Amino acid sequence: MPSASAAPTAAPSGALDVPSDLCTLIPGLALDLTEAPAGRPGAVQLSAGTQRAEDAGLIGYAEHSFVPRLPWRSPTAEEWETLTRPRRTHPQDEIEPPGDRVCVIPVPETVLESFAQLRELCDEAGNVKRIHALSEEAFGRVALVEAARFALSLTFSDHTDIDAPNAHPKIPPGTPTMTTGRDGLLTGLHVDSWYRSELEGRASSPNRVSINLGMHDRHLLFVNLPLRSIAERVAKARGGTPLGDISFSLPREFTRLFPDYPVVKLRIAPGEAYIAPTENIIHDGYAERIGGIDLQFTCRGYFRAPAPGSRGDSPADGA
């Protein structure tokens, strides 16, 4: 597949003339890095917008898929303020938790140690089947329990269940996004719909924890606006006509209509986890194809970042 670095920077066809505020970041979800390890230069970048995968010369994508448009750049001071301390001037701009923020947190050493045998295999791309097989052995099941226990420690007190806890080894495809559909094609930027919530309930839907168990950085790509805000802007641009398909038609129409709106690229280092409302944001994952395996533990539930200093375990050294 062609590399993402070869993607052209031209905007996709079909874009409208839009207000300047839709070419720059608008206050939306908060990016919470207060618990992330210090000294993270380049951990947050912004794209030049979005474009259709076919316009980027990419193959293996579903029809009408969109990906971030190069180049990536560091946010300005004003953009950083918008990302980390959203300014909300009207009550209707408030977003319900847990769909109101994206967090990065360190993972306890106990979790990483439990996956040590699997993590050691991540340097060789040919070890995917071996990782799958070892995950079924006793120590692999114990490791999953340890990761699930950590995830449970992050749940809200009135929502203590988690869904679909599992470890996922994957060879990065070398494309700007990683998620594939049931047809085996890459989906591009999308919205999760595991819970089939209506638009107004998306902010209060379960969110996701994802732990980077590999040996290399992985990234969360996302648009910082909640779905309700995106749907309102798309409907206005379409003359008041709403879109019913939240998972694919809405994100694709937003990126088509507003191709200059930036995508956030958030680095998740080995030994870190993100908490993100993937039912309420346009998003995908990305990892460089450098010969290794992208290994993540992920589950869904109602998660929040721990209060500073509340964890009994020390964070992973060097994460």
**Distances 51 to 4, 8, 236, 287 between C-alpha atoms, Å:** 12, 9, 21, 19
Dihedral of the CA atoms 117, 265, 28, 18 (nearest 10)? -150
Residue 24, pLDDT score: 85
Instruction: Specify if 311 maps to a domain.
Output: no
pLDDT value at residue 277? 97
**Which of 4-8, 116-120, 265-269 is predicted least confidently?**
4-8
Domain ranges, residue 180: 27-86+94-301
Calculate helix-pair angle for 128-135, 138-152, nearest 10 degrees. Answer: 80
With cut-offs at 50, 70 and 90, classify the pLDDT of residue 16: very low
pLDDT at residue 307, rounded to an integer = 64
- State the chain's mean pLDDT as an integer: 87
At 9 the pLDDT is 37
d(CA 270, CA 276): 17
Let me know if residue 46 belongs to a domain: yes
- The mean pLDDT of 129-138, rounded to a whole number, is 95
Split at pLDDT 50, 70, 90, the class of 20 is very low
What pLDDT does 255 receive? 95
Total domains, the chain:
1
Within 10 angstroms of residue 76's Cβ, the number of other Cβ atoms is: 12
Please report whether residue 66 resides in a domain: yes
Amino acid at position 199, single letter: L
Instruction: Look at residue 6 and tell me if it is in a domain.
Output: no
Q: Is 155 inside any structural domain? A: yes
For residue 28, CA distances in Å to 82, 129, 140 come to: 8, 40, 39
CB 276 within 8 A of CB 102: yes
- 15 lies in a domain? no
The span from the CA of 242 to the CA of 236, in Å, is 8
The answer to whether residue 196 scores a pLDDT higher than 50 is yes
The confidence band for 88, taking pLDDT boundaries of 50, 70 and 90, is low
Average pLDDT over residues 201-219: 96
Report the C-alpha gap between 282 and 45 in whole angstroms: 16
Instruction: With a cut of 60, say whether residue 120 has pLDDT above it.
Output: yes
Q: What is the mean pLDDT of residues 74-84?
A: 94
Do the domain assignments include residue 312? no
Assess contact for 231 and 225: CB atoms under 8 A: no
Strands 49-52 and 101-106: unpaired
Which residue has better confidence, 316 or 180? 180
Distance (Å, whole) CA 61 – CA 141: 34
Q: Looking at the domain assignment, is residue 1 inside a domain?
A: no
Entry pTM: 0.89
